[in-house]
Structure 1
Amino acid sequence: MRQMIWSDFRRRILGNDTISREERKLLFKIDWFILSYCCLMVYLDRSNVNNAYVSGMREELHMVGTQFNQINTLFTCGYIVGMIPNNLMLQIVPPRIWLPTMQIVWGVLTFCTTSVSSVNQIYGIRFVQGMAESSTFVGTHYILGSWYKPGELGKRSAIFTSSGLIGTLFSGVLQGAVYRNLSGIGGRSGWRWLFIIDGIITMPIALYGFFVFPDVPATTKAFYLTEEERLLSSDRLQDVVDTTKHALSWNLVRRVLSRWRWYGCSLLFAVSGETESFGSNNLMGQWLSAIGGYTTEQVDYYPSGMTAFAITSTLTCAWLTDKNRKRWPVLIYMSTACVFAALCILIWRSPTWLKFVAYYVAGASYAGQATTFAWANQICADDDQERAIVLASMNMWNNVINAWWPIVLYPATDAPRFRKGAIAMLGTCGATLAVTWLVWYLELREQRQRDVFPGRGADEYDGPEKGDRQVLDGSELEQGEREKD
């Protein structure tokens, strides 16, 4: 009875609707080892500078003007530089080696941040840290797209995205506790202790990855998978995902640039990713700090409500989109939520409680992150190498915009009102809706062309080697699985 209840829970929550006992066992293993490592890998580090800034770092390092934004911009520049090279390295170096190694690099740099004496030192550390951390986000989405079917992918992408949000949520709570309990211990400020604790958490997780991460189905040698399970991991994705290992060649450039996918998916996340600006720039924390009347702990704690709403939205939307394989409604939902938030903040005479609601509702923007990458994995499923480039490029172009977007539209000097930022958010939401329609239309047109010319590739539907692979869309795949069952 207990086993039946657990199986039903996994089927409903994670989408493991296969009747094969062997496949259920395989999914349980890869769910545990892939998601446990990838989720822990992004636990705290991205948000610690934001929390440190409003918890004493600004005053201790005598930061002025837009120096906080410049720290984030230099991190973004490093992120941009490392994005595509890191994803290409996953085609050369086993992911179980490359990803943990990059994590050790940024863990060491996190420890270094505890000893900085000027903002210029943080500039250098965060740039290199961005290069190392750029391996994580798109690398994980590439790995997820290599192991899971379309009906399974959205939930796993959402769990991974939510883990980063949980890290942000926990980081705010942790920073408040550190500031209250460790500030002054050993002659160090509370914000410096946060980086020490982050570094202590990071290093063991990297070591865990060396031992348990399974690489991709074509090359996995994970000790916990039997030979039959290794074969099954590729066989179950046949005609759904390209799992063949191909040598890198210049043909990859031709394939990527001659199709609409790179352009459409890159534009989609370049635009829609900016709806996260209220959260990624910690506008709520800066607003609370600027208007006064709130303690340091409250400034750290209260923005956590936005993160909690983001997690709820991300998981709920992913579960719904995996059921019908339609990703575009999520982008409509998050754009609508962000329009409401921007209007409430733009109308400055609105009551304080409404501004709290607005910032919390803006957390819906994070729901689009898991959805757009699951959508791109689904669109590019017939070409493993193209998929790696498209996923990296999506995040790269989003970060190209992030390199200047906060400085121009969300400078710290605009606190507490952020009028320019609220107006920019309205425009961003409108652009997101337009690009969402464009990608939906192009995907639909490609699927119709496959129906007319089955088995032909996308430039005529050629894959990495030859055009004999047909990728099923969501409705066809769902119907095929039901017939097989």
Structure 2
Amino acid sequence: MEMKPASDKFEHDHSDGSASNEHSPSGMEARSVDTKKTLRQMDYRVIPIVTLLYLLSFLDRGNIGNAKVQGMEEDLKLTGNRYNLAYTVFFFPYALLELPANLLLKKLRPSIWLPAIMVAWGLVTTLTGIVKSYNGLLVIRVMLGVAEAGQYPGCAYYLTMWYAPQDLGLRQGMFFSAAALAGSFSGLLAYALAQMDGVGGLAGWRWIFIIEGIVTVVIGVAAFFLITDSPDKATFLTPDQRAWATHRVQTRGEEWNGQKAQEIDSDTFKWKYVGRAFTDWQIWLGILVDWACTCTIYGMSAFLPSIVANLGYDGNQANLLTIPVYATACILTIVLSYLSDRFQKRSIFVIFLLCIELVGYVLTMIGSSQLINGLSYAGVFISTAACYPAFVLTITWVLSNLAPTYKRASGTAVLVGLGNLAGAMAPNFYSSETAPEYLMGHGLEIMMVSLGLISATVMRFLYKKQNKKRQELVANGISYTADELADMGDRAPTYQYKL
């Protein structure tokens, strides 16, 4: 079943049951919906706020890397592997709590849950600026992991409530580009805030946490009034636009043999959908692909300023030199996500980007071993710029192949939650004892990217094999009710995986 682009107009015909009368006043006659205009209206109201939420969350968890080179390491006596451990402990509660957080999002509604946890992690970030000891830093990082646990999987799942799979790549790309933007903005902001050194009797690195945390709290409060739960509750859309958007998500925006698609998204909660998320091969292979990207994202978030500083630059210069790396990653994420939607391909882009990421690390290894600083910087530049679009397209690829809705919510949390365990691994790839070459860290990154590349290739092969088998089943005739197909979700014989 090939994905077809949205037509410019959607005839809202209630007689076929494709959209219920509750989305239309008094069951009025069919009206023409400009689908491109509707998508733009949704983009204007949905994408900016989730992007801002993620930018601030990534900024607040990653600013410890900037603070480290601005004096935090000396003030808190982060000797040996203490910094690595302080960075790592964030990810244990962060990964563990993502599944219950996504289930709570469904129960409490996005407009309540997402702003609430944002205010919580903003307060924790602010308090990080007043920690007095290494033990205090460990406690505050654990608290930050608890507070932020539901943010990324919640926003990623929230977007699937608004967009069909063929529209999702660009929107996930714009949303996740905030992570790269945060990396770029973090270096510039850290440089500026570090100039407050001595204000109020506080060191410059402390102001990095305090100011960024306060900004997060303020925007979190505003988010209570800015987030709309789903298309059927969107007052900025007309009744027919709401019906079209809801129907498009429920049917994945597809047609089958020229007919309107059967609704394949059951919104009824059953524990078996959660169980399916833990036993689905595509999620486990997706986690390995995720690790190939996430190890680089968090390894560089924690150590890129230090890696650059060890090339012979001071703390301020090192932070500034991270800006072009993340700016490039941000641009590539948006452009390649757009192209992925344009050509309706995910796997080819993911595999290509993992190959580029691998090349970057090989160049870094050569530059580090031969003490060629320019080559080392070019290598981490290439790897970091490639991993961001690779990550977002991996998440989009897997999410597009999960149904029904509670399996997708659970699968998103499992994929992102266990994927984020790479955040606990990657910072420990690097240590001060292996500076300035960091050969062990770069070598371990090469191993993870290679594992992800193999997994992505296997996923593509298995998806194609399963699609062909299902096409043959449908051609020979099937006898399932609409409810049975909806309950099976992505296991239904009529369901075709996205490549």
CA distance in 1: counterparts of 2:240 and 2:126, whole angstroms: 43
Residue-by-residue CA offset, 1:16-47 (whole Å, 9 max, x unaligned): 76345532332222212211111111222132
Q: CA deviation at 1:225?
A: 3.1
Partner of 2:260: none
The one-letter amino acid of 1:30's match is: M
- CA–CA distance in 1 between the matches of 2:493 and 2:358? 42
1:204-233 Cα distance to aligned partner (Å, 9 max, x none): 32123211212234xx43332333332222
2:148 corresponds to which of 115, 130, 133: 133
Aligned residue runs from structure 1 range 349-368, under 5 A: 349-363=370-384, 364-368=386-390
| 2:44 alignment counterpart | 32
Unpaired segments ≥5 residues, structure 2: 11-32, 254-262
Contact 1:328 1:436 in 2 (8 A): yes
**Distance of 2:264 and 2:358 partners within structure 1:** 40
SS in 1 for 2:80: coil
Question: CA RMSD for the aligned pairs?
Answer: 2.6
**Shift in Å, 1:159:** 0.6
CA distance in 2, matches of 1:42, 1:371: 16
Which segments of structure 1 move beyond 6 Å, counting only runs of 4 or more? 465-469
Cα deviation for residue 302 of structure 1 reads 0.4
Aligned to 2:468: 448
Does the Cα contact within 8 Å between 1:95 and 1:215 map onto a contact in 2? Answer: yes
* Residue 105 (structure 1) aligns with: 120
Alignment match of 2:396 (pick from 360, 368, 374): 374
Q: Pick one of 363, 366, 369 that aligns with 1:344.
A: 363
Structure 1 residues 138 and 254, CA gap change in structure 2 (3 angstroms): closer
Q: 2:339 aligns with which of 295, 320, 331?
A: 320
Question: Once the 2 structures are TM-superposed, how far is the Cα of residue 141 of structure 1 from its aligned partner?
Answer: 1.2
User: Is 1:280 aligned to 2:280, yes or no?
Assistant: no
Q: State the 1:326 CA deviation.
A: 1.8
Q: Would the alpha carbon gap of residues 401 and 288 (structure 1) be closer, same or farther in structure 2, given more than 3 Å must change? A: closer
Partner residue of 1:3?
A: none
| Corresponding residue number in structure 2 for 1:248 | 269
Q: Secondary structure at the match of 1:117?
A: coil
**Residues 447 and 441 of structure 1: is their aligned pair in 2 closer, same or farther, counting only changes over 3 Å?**
same
CA shift for structure 1 position 291: 4.7
When normalised by structure 2's length, the TM-score is 0.84
Q: SS in structure 2 opposite 1:159?
A: helix
Whole-angstrom CA distance in 2 between matches of 1:59 and 1:254? 47
Q: CA 1:472 to 1:252, structure 2 compared with 1: closer, same or farther past 3 Å?
A: closer
1:368 positional shift:
1.0
Shift of 1:257: 4.6
Q: Does 1:296 align with 2:315?
A: yes
The answer as to 2:164 corresponding to 1:149 is yes
Q: Which amino acid aligns with 1:400?
A: L
- SS of the aligned residue for 2:106 comes to coil
- Shift in Å, 1:244: 5.1
SS at match of 1:453: helix
Q: Is the 8 A contact 1:410 1:421 kept in 2?
A: yes
- Quote the residue 1:431 is aligned against: 451
* Native 8 Å contact 1:324 1:474 kept in 2: no
Paired with 2:48 and 2:9, the residues of 1 have a C-alpha distance of: 25
Structure 2 CA distance for partners of 1:103 and 1:257, relative to 1, 3 Å: closer
The aligned counterpart of 1:307 is 326
Aligned runs of 1:16-55 on 2, under 5 Å?
A: 18-19=8-9, 21-43=33-55, 44-55=59-70
**Can you list the C-alpha shifts for 1:113-160, whole angstroms capped at 9, x where unaligned?**
111101211211111211221211111111112221222211111111
Alpha-carbon shift at residue 340 of structure 1 (Å): 2.5
Partners of 2:406 and 2:307 in 1: CA distance: 44
Which digits, 9 at most, give the CA deviation of each residue in 1:395-420, with x for residues without a partner? 2222224323432x222332221111
Residues 1:73 and 2:88 are matched in the alignment: yes
Q: Give the total of aligned pairs.
A: 452
2:229 partner amino acid: D
Match of 1:404, SS state, is helix
Question: Do the aligned partners of 1:261 and 1:390 also contact (CA within 8 Å) in 2?
Answer: no
The alpha carbon displacement at 1:188 in A equals: 1.1
d(CA) in 1 for partners of 2:455, 2:212: 37
Q: Is the 8 A contact 1:270 1:395 kept in 2?
A: no
Amino acid at match of 1:175: A
Whether the aligned pair in 2 keeps the contact of 1:279 and 1:362 (CA below 8 Å) is no
Instruction: Give aligned-pair identity as a percent.
Output: 27
Runs of 5+ unmatched residues, structure 1:
1-14, 476-485
Give the drift of 1:377: 1.7
Aligned: 1:196 with 2:210: yes
What displacement does 1:446 show? 2.4
Q: For 1:469 and 1:36, locate their aligned partners in 2 and report how far apart those are by CA, in whole Å.
A: 37
* Superposed displacement of residue 317, structure 1: 1.7
| Residues 32-89 of structure 1: CA deviation (Å, up to 9, x unaligned) | 2211111111222132111111111111111111111111111111211211111111
Is the partner of 1:464 in helix, strand or coil?
helix
Which amino acid in the other structure matches residue 196 of structure 1? I
Q: Is 1:422 equivalent to 2:436 in the alignment?
A: no
- Structure 1 residue 304 displacement after superposition: 1.6
Q: CA deviation at 1:277?
A: 4.9
Task: Please state whether the residue corresponding to 1:211 is helix, strand or coil.
Answer: coil
Tell me the residue number matched to 1:400.
Answer: 421
Partners of 1:239 and 1:469 within 8 A in 2 = no
TM-score by length of 1: 0.86
Whole-angstrom distance in 2 between the partners of 1:412 and 1:225: 54
Cross-structure match for 2:225: 211
Q: Secondary structure at the match of 1:287?
A: helix
Aligned partners of 2:291 and 2:452 also within 8 Å: no
Residues 84 and 356 (structure 1 numbering): CA distance in 2 closer, same or farther, change over 3 Å?
same
Which residue number corresponds to residue 482 of structure 1? Answer: none
Aligned partner of 1:6 in structure 2 is: none
Equivalent position of 1:115 in the other structure: 130
